[in-house]
Structure 1
Amino acid sequence: MKEIKILSENLLYGIADNSSPSGRPGGAAGLYIHIPFCKQACHYCDFHFSTSLKKKGKLVEMLCRELVLRKNELNSPEIQTIYFGGGTPSLLEADELQQIFETIYANYKIAENPEITLEANPDDLTQEKLKMLKASEINRLSIGVQSFFEDDLKLMNRAHNSEEALKSIKLAKSYFDNISIDLIYGIPGMSAERWQRNIEISLELGVPHISSYALTVEPNTALQKFIEKGKIKQVDDEAAKFHFEILVETLTGNGFEHYEFSNFGKPGYFSENNTAYWLGKPYLGIGPAAHSYDGNSRKWNISNNPLYIKALEKDKIPQETETLSLSDKYNEYVMTRLRTKFGVELAEVSSKFGEDYKAHFVELAKPLQKGNLLQEKNGIYHITSKGKFLSDGIAADLFFLE
């Protein structure tokens, strides 16, 4: 069963839902700020960014203008999560970060004690940078470690080395309690022993949240070209599956809850931002390539920094819009929920989509249950341990195709 690529942690979908596992009031929304700059290009990355920082100040100015222009777009009483993604948001200077926050707080109602996350690369997290971030509104860091081993980092063309990966986390813990790290498995040449050691190092460092992804070969990336030329070995799906099994067993055996396919958290440290996406909360995406969702439609900004700046200088939002059909909403509900601990609830399917969709789901679920890929308890369907690595493909088998 073929895995279907999820666009990004920050580009998710779904239906508006008034429940909140974090205990926050229903109806709250999220802000996603895309910072499209990096020091250098990772070989596997196909997200939108530029390695030229010349227009960074101007782009931050236009981010703020977009925030003002779209301040009434969300039909929500308040913002409960703010997420700086990229790109590399840790490239922002103190004055740039302050400019963005001043604009947000002047134009949006922010919940009490919001979760505010900034993605950071280890090589940026000096003591000076961490002091600056601590003095800002940021209260959660997501550190893009990917691996603690030099060979892996060189293969991926990461800007940091293994020593910086370790040092950044140790330093960050002096300033932040809520820290997540990213790890990548299935890297060509990565043994099971090396992957196990990556996880063990993370545990020794006392990180309370880990997001972990299989290395994928995206079209038109340097990684694809190197594999085609034989400079790098092809990604081994069976090795990646074994790495995933090691990941789940090790982390769940050490007090982490596997609350979404790629995410593991200690109690009290689940990502509120990501959980809101998976539960279909509305969110506003600001910046080039950023996506937004309001419950009925999805919008995405142009993936071009100069054109984005040019449009915003004229007070125009350079974006496209897709209105979701009922089937689109159902399919995305199924995909996101099956990736999470929450599962697909038949009563919810019935209330949101109608009895025909409920009957459709139940009928298509039967062979997956017989194959021990899907299980049902009290009207809630979850992926089994056997089916975990195929979760997106299983979801696709349950889609409603018009």
Structure 2
Amino acid sequence: MSGIYLHIPFCRQACHYCDFHFSTSMGLKEQTVQAIARELELRQEYLQGQPVHTIYFGGGTPSLLNQQELQLLLATIKKLYIVSEDTEITLEANPDDLTPAKLQELRAAGMNRLSIGLQSFHEPHLRLMNRAHSATESLQCVKDAQAAGFDSITVDLIYGIPATDHHIWQQDLETLFALRVPHVSCYALTIEPDTALGRWSKKGKFKPAEDDFTAQQFEILLAQMAKHGYIQYEISNFCLPGHESRHNSNYWRGVHYLGVGPSAHSFNGRSRQHNVAHNKKYVDAVMQGHIPFELEELTMADQVNDYLLTSLRTIWGCDLRKINHDYGYNLRVSHAGYLQQLQDKGLASIAEEVLYLTDKGKLLADQITLDLLIE
């Protein structure tokens, strides 16, 4: 079992919080698509014949691709790789792209799952983030996608946006639940240095929300998701029963995947590869038959730490026996005192040798994981 991720590095405009690799110039779009198709050929052996169960178009804004470009990439994958009949094929989309005509194009191209970057239903928050769509489009695009026959839809929301109280966040959640989408990803607004919000914050032009405010919104999120029947199967991801993202779940479970496109990452259990985050350098190199990437060989400690970083975020928890069996490392012995402290403070529990974070512990997940990492 494996997955393929395609990074489409183009956006109409730069969101004020985003530090992913993308370009707002479309001059190289057609050439980049051709180069991604070529990289799929050059990397054909990377997955070693493992069947592909998930294909994910991320970015950037993959909904900027037209039907022919999407069909070219999917046809290339199906020609070169063993693709399961029930493969989950996800495309990230912005609401302003999802017209009824575009939705029909996406279905015709082979997409069976949409990941829609709503971020908010509140107009001033969308403007603060410099999103290209309106609050009306946030709502309408989901209804249009459902009408077009997309049963598998996930939407993104951002919390922790500065406000006088939690009223806007609660309204966003109420609007979301009325849509009854089967999957939701919710992320705290993170201020990265090399973004507009990061620069404004440094100059004192923007004041991020206090940590306590953001934590309170996370607690509201947990309570409301549970009330409406959603399962929190990963810290930021919620779904109705049976609607987990297969692609992202595989990331968290350590399944191998091939990443193609500028800045894309690949993982085969023993190493990671990172493609160059520069569109022209990527296109020029790949069209000459060379893939411009950096290789990171994973030590035993790297592999243990990767497993800790991903598994602790999930409903499935961190299997301490797996770490001992697969890597010869006994976390129960090396971190005995700390594991007991986590349990005593109500931050974690251990059942049948699996370590789980409690709701209280999830608020401190990053710090807990850092404390458990090995050298």
TM-score, with length taken from structure 1: 0.91
Q: Which residue of 1 aligns with 2:144?
A: 171
Would the aligned equivalents of 2:120 and 2:157 in 1 still touch at CA under 8 Å? Answer: yes
Do structure 1's residue 152 and structure 2's residue 120 form an aligned pair?
no
In 2, the alpha carbon distance for the partners of 1:387 and 1:54 equals 46
In 1, the alpha carbon distance for the partners of 2:75 and 2:193 equals 39
Would the aligned equivalents of 2:93 and 2:116 in 1 still touch at CA under 8 Å? Answer: yes
Would the aligned equivalents of 2:17 and 2:195 in 1 still touch at CA under 8 Å? Answer: yes
Q: Which residue of 2 aligns with 1:100?
A: 73
Do structure 1's residue 280 and structure 2's residue 254 form an aligned pair?
yes
Q: Superposed, which structure 2 residues align to 1:84-95 within 5 Å?
A: 84-95=57-68
Which residue identity lines up with residue 372 of structure 1 in the other structure? G
Higher deviation after alignment, 34-43 or 103-112:
103-112
Number of equivalences = 374
Higher deviation after alignment, 177-186 or 189-198:
189-198
Which residue identity lines up with residue 123 of structure 1 in the other structure? D
Do structure 1's residue 371 and structure 2's residue 361 form an aligned pair?
no
SS for the counterpart of 1:306 is: helix
Higher deviation after alignment, 226-235 or 192-201:
226-235
Q: Superposed, which structure 2 residues align to 1:3-402 within 5 Å?
A: 28-175=1-148, 176-189=150-163, 191-401=165-375
In 2, the alpha carbon distance for the partners of 1:153 and 1:142 equals 18
In 2, the alpha carbon distance for the partners of 1:190 and 1:275 equals 35
Would the aligned equivalents of 1:152 and 1:190 in 2 still touch at CA under 8 Å? Answer: no
TM-score, with length taken from structure 2: 0.98
Give, in angstroms, the shift of residue 363 of structure 1: 4.2
In 2, the alpha carbon distance for the partners of 1:190 and 1:354 equals 51
Post-superposition CA distance 1:299-334 (Å, at most 9, x none) = 000000000011012100000000011111111111
* Runs of 5+ unmatched residues, structure 1: 1-27
The percent identity for this pair of structures is 47
In 2, the alpha carbon distance for the partners of 1:72 and 1:349 equals 28
In 2, the alpha carbon distance for the partners of 1:270 and 1:356 equals 31
SS for the counterpart of 1:95 is: helix
Would the aligned equivalents of 2:49 and 2:82 in 1 still touch at CA under 8 Å? Answer: no
SS for the counterpart of 1:116 is: strand
Structure with the bigger RCO (C-alpha within 8 Å, sep 6+) is: 1
In 2, the alpha carbon distance for the partners of 1:131 and 1:200 equals 28
Would the aligned equivalents of 1:188 and 1:232 in 2 still touch at CA under 8 Å? Answer: no
In 2, the alpha carbon distance for the partners of 1:217 and 1:278 equals 24
Which residue identity lines up with residue 146 of structure 2 in the other structure? K
SS for the counterpart of 1:387 is: helix
Post-superposition CA distance 1:186-231 (Å, at most 9, x none) = 0122631110111111110111100000000101111011122333
* Runs of 5+ unmatched residues, structure 2: none
Give, in angstroms, the shift of residue 101 of structure 1: 1.0
Q: 1:76 to 1:333 in 2, by over 3 A?
A: farther
